[in-house]
Amino acid sequence: MSDDLSRNSNVDYPSTSGVNARYSNSPETTSSIILQDFKNKKIQKTTSSNLETDSNLSKNKATSSFKEKLDAFDAAILSADNFLKSFNKYPNNDKAMSEVVDNVDSNKNEKSRAENNSSSSGSNSSSRCSIETDEDISRDNFDQNSNDFTSKTNLMASTSKMKTLSKSLLHSNSDRGHKRSHQSDSESECEDTAIIIVPSVEEIVDPSYSYIVSDDKIQNFITNGKMIGDDNIVDAYDPTEIDEIINDEIILGTRFYLVKWKNWSKGFNTWERYGSLYKSQKILLKYIENKNKRVDGYLNPIDGTLLMMSRKMITTLFETFKTESGISLPTLLPEDISGLYNSLDVGTMNSQKYKNRSLQYFLPTIVLGYLRQRQLFNLKQWEIEINVVTQDNEIKVENNMDLEGPPDSFVYISEYVPQADIIISDDPPIGCHCKKNCKIPESCCYEMTGCLKAYDKNKNIVVNPGHPVYECNKKCKCSSACTNRVVQLGSKVNVCIYKTRRTGWGVKSTQNIQKGQFVARYIGEIITVEESEDRLRDGLSSIDYTWNLDFNDPQNYKYIIDGTHFANFTRFINHSCSSNLNVYAVWINCLDRNLPQLALFANRDIVAGEQLTTNYFSRIDKNTLKKSGIRCRCDMKNCNGYYF
Ligand SMILES: C[S@@+](CC[C@H](N)C(=O)[O-])C[C@H]1O[C@@H](n2cnc3c(N)ncnc32)[C@H](O)[C@@H]1O
């Protein structure tokens, strides 16, 4: 027998990379849950705030026309507090923090000066964005697309890099004695641009979003602020950074392109304006040429929701809010923003700038927060679903890398799904007669098949990869405690399907695993080689998820495990040139030589948190791999350099 257990890598078809995953929750389901989520959201009152003292707070409450929205106001203060706390998590932010406090003081001083002078505090007309002179959306364009505008909740904001923005925002008030021109303010404000389209109010039926649309100050900011179109603002991206352009949309007269970036996962696709892509003419041309040929639009994995933020902005937001344990966005509601905005309603120049900049900051953050919330919800849903199917071990789902939802473009299964005409027997012709847990080797299954005993007394595998494993089966007289029953008892290893930094979804262990311990079976559809070739040719399966059942005969094997449409978590196990799992062929109740189980065992001790990996190409020549030109990203010292 050979040790040929291999990925289906000898078929000469192009590989489709990654998962074409879109999560399938209907808008209704999602919206009602989000609605519930928002309703359930408990906003606790905070006793201290870095932005406002209690006395100032109550003064504002008393003078504000927002009296009836005290809750929203409190929430705004809490949110600001949360934001400052999360901002503080970042190294080197001490200075910024002290500036925040400075700013608060200066803001308070200005407020009281304004109040003392009985100046035009609370003037609503002053809510117009200070950068409105840079407006570049013509009214015509706006009107032309007004349907777009009303049918969707369009939030548009312009912002600088968050840290820079926060600092410059704070500087504007704390730079007392330094002259700052309006021009330079505008420049820093308009460095990045975002258009954020969340699903329509009708779809979401969410009071908080209706609030955004109905709040005249936010509306005013949205419609009159510096929004889109100034192509000089963002430097054009280097074309070598771009993988491909996959979609386009016109919003308020400006065309946006959805870009898949090289070395960034699909969950990080961003919408970019033509101005940022003008150096990438060839790529744009290719996109336009292929556009009409596409059968099915390659949608943004973020559930078709258009998140129109430049890469600059989205990376900045992620950087700003990334913590060790994930993306920790401040808990903000649109009411919070409005409350905050109104609480700062003092007509002085500086506070006006502060107000506008806080909007520029909070609007993208809130929508990102919304998307994140929805993403987390969907990941959780999927986690629950797959744990219902898998009863043996606990599987977690985690994405702290980007905004992609669950990779549920396949059905989660716990058993092989054979093609219609393939029969996987469940009636072994023979079993052992061992009385007590197979202690008499001669008559036991493995001896009868001429093989070594595969497992030790702890049920850890002890034979080398390539050695066939025959477990005791249903005809055997021994109990389930028999040390020759392992794979059939199911996986006992708890794992997490998670988004890796560079290789898409992966699997990590959430517990320590002993060397030799059984981890899981690779399962999927069992199809014939011919069917597999047809599917690959017609683009109906992805070679990424197929394994050959070629243990018995590497040249003339009959069956393929296709994990494209039906699979378990092992579908997400990535390749490593120095892998920690080995693959074995194991026979249990079906003794057809062409139909073993593929079982993954730890080839060394693995500690909780480590990524689980297999070597897809253990028997493929290094030079053959090089020809593929696809870089391996396993990051191992002994990496072959190429993948496939
Ligand atoms: C079986 S899938 C593994 C799950 C996959 N990461 C996903 O997101 O669905 C194999 C695919 O993962 C990616 N991959 C896995 N290991 C890799 C590696 N070492 N280097 C580069 N890409 C890898 C490749 O895109 C490959 O086609």
pLDDT tens, residue by residue, 280-297: 999 998 888 887 665 444
Which percentage of the chain shows pLDDT scores above 70?
51
Mean pLDDT of 126-153: 24
Integer-rounded Cα Rg, in Å, for the chain is 30
Task: State residue 165's pLDDT score.
Answer: 26
193 vs 273: CA distance, rounded Å: 9
Nearest-CA residue for atom 17 of ligand 1? 575
Which carries the bigger pLDDT value, residue 136 or residue 606? 606
Atom of ligand 1 nearest to the CA of 613: 16
Query: If you average pLDDT over every residue of the chain, what do you get?
Result: 65
Give distance in angstroms: CA of 249 to centre of ligand 1. 30
Which pLDDT does position 340 carry in this prediction? 67
**Residue 634 scores a pLDDT above 70:** yes
Locate the ligand 1 atom nearest the alpha carbon of residue 545 and give its number. 1
Q: Where are the alpha helices (DSSP H) in 278-392?
A: 281-291, 311-321, 334-343, 349-389
Chain centroid offset of residue 636 CA: 24
Residue type, 110: E
Q: Residue 151 — pLDDT band, cuts 50, 70, 90?
A: very low
Q: Is the per-residue pLDDT at 37 higher than 50?
A: no
Min mean pLDDT across 27-31, 442-446, 499-503, 518-522 is at 27-31
Most confident of 89-93, 328-332, 566-570: 566-570
pLDDT value of residue 555: 85
Out of 177-181, 337-341, 394-398, 581-585, pick the least confident.
177-181
Question: What residues have CB less than 8 Å from 44, skipping those under 6 apart?
Answer: 78
> Which of 1-15, 404-418, 421-435, 575-589 ranks highest by mean pLDDT?
575-589
Cα–ligand 1 centroid distance for 564 (angstroms): 13
Residue 161 in this model has a pLDDT that exceeds 50: no
Of 35-39, 80-84, 378-382, 556-560, least confident by mean pLDDT is 35-39
Q: How confident is the model at residue 510 (pLDDT cuts 50, 70, 90)?
A: very high
pLDDT at 335: 64
Mean pLDDT, residues 588-602:
95
Atom of ligand 1 nearest to the CA of 15: 27
* Closest by CA position to 208, among listed 65, 29, 41, 30: 41
Ligand 1 atom 7: residue of nearest CA: 505
| 85: CB partners within 8 A, 6+ apart | none
Kindly report which listed range (185-189, 310-314, 329-333, 356-360) carries the lowest average pLDDT score. Answer: 185-189
Q: What 3-state DSSP class applies to 24?
A: coil
Q: What is the pLDDT of residue 585?
A: 95
Q: Return the pLDDT at 258.
A: 85
Backbone angles phi, psi at 249, to 5 degrees: -150, 145
**Ligand 1 mean position, distance from CA 500 (Å):** 10
Question: Which residue in this structure is represented by tokens 């919408």?
Answer: 271
Most confident range, picked from 78-92, 132-146, 556-570: 556-570
How far, in Å, are 370, 382, 420, 452 from residue 410 at the CA level?
26, 12, 19, 37
What is the mean predicted confidence (pLDDT) over 31-46? 25
User: How would you classify residue 474: left for phi > 0, otherwise alpha for psi between -120 and 50, otherwise beta?
Assistant: alpha
Q: Which residue has the higher pLDDT, 575 or 218?
A: 575
More confident residue, 265 or 180: 265
Q: Give the side-chain half-sphere CA count within 13 A for 288.
A: 7
The predicted structure's pLDDT at residue 354: 65
What per-residue confidence (pLDDT) applies to 323? Answer: 78
270 C-alpha vs ligand 1 centroid, how far in Å?
Answer: 22
CA dist 419 → 425, 506, 525, 545 (Å): 13, 27, 7, 16
Quote the pLDDT of residue 216.
59
Question: In angstroms, what is the span from residue 574 Cα to ligand 1's centroid?
Answer: 5
What whole-number distance in Å separates Cα of residue 450 and Cα of residue 463?
Answer: 13
Ligand 1 center from residue 17 Cα (angstroms): 7
Q: Is the pLDDT of residue 241 over 70?
A: yes
Per DSSP, the three-state class of 396 is strand
Best residue among 22, 402, 503, 611 to mutate for probing ligand 1, ranked by most atoms within 8 Å of CB: 503
The confidence score (pLDDT) of residue 28 equals: 26
Which of 497, 547, 643 has the most ligand 1 atoms within 8 A of CB, as the residue to mutate? 643
User: What's the pLDDT band for 527 if we cut at 50, 70, 90?
Assistant: very high
What integer pLDDT is reported at residue 628 of this predicted model? 65
Q: 21, 71, 395: which is closest to 208 by C-alpha?
A: 71
Given the CA of residue 16, which atom of ligand 1 is nearest to it? 27
**Ligand 1: distance of its center to the CA of 414 in Å?**
22
- Rounded Cα distance between 128 and 122, Å, is 12
Burial grade of 633 (CB within 10 A; 0-12, 13-18, 19 or more): middle
What pLDDT does residue 412 have?
A: 95
| pTM for the predicted model, two decimal places | 0.65
pLDDT of residue 55 exceeding 60: no
- The percentage of the chain sitting over the pLDDT mark of 90, rounded to a whole number, equals 27
Residue 417: how many other CB atoms lie within 10 Å: 18
> How far apart, in whole angstroms, are the C-alpha atoms of residue 75 and residue 62?
16
| 352 pLDDT more than 80 | no
| Closest CA to ligand 1's atom 10 | 544
Residue from 9, 498, 575 to probe ligand 1 pocket by mutation (most atoms less than 8 Å from CB): 575
Cα separation values, 126 from 69, 129, 130, 166, 356, Å: 21, 8, 9, 22, 10
Please state which of the ranges 103-117, 161-175, 309-323, 569-583 shows the lowest mean pLDDT.
161-175
For 63-72, 283-292, 403-412, which range has the lowest pLDDT when averaged over its residues? 63-72
| 306, containing H or E segment | none
pLDDT in tens, 442-466: 667 777 777 778 999 899 999 999 8
What is 583-622 written as a DSSP string? EEEEESS---TT-PEEEEEESS-B-TTPBPEE-TTTTS-H
Question: Where residue 270 falls among pLDDT bands split at 50, 70, 90?
Answer: confident
* Ligand 1 binding site (Cβ under 6 Å of any ligand atom): 15, 17-19, 503-506, 544-545, 571-572, 574-576, 632-634, 643
pLDDT category, 265, cuts 50, 70, 90?
Answer: confident
The residue among 440 and 61 whose pLDDT is bigger is 440
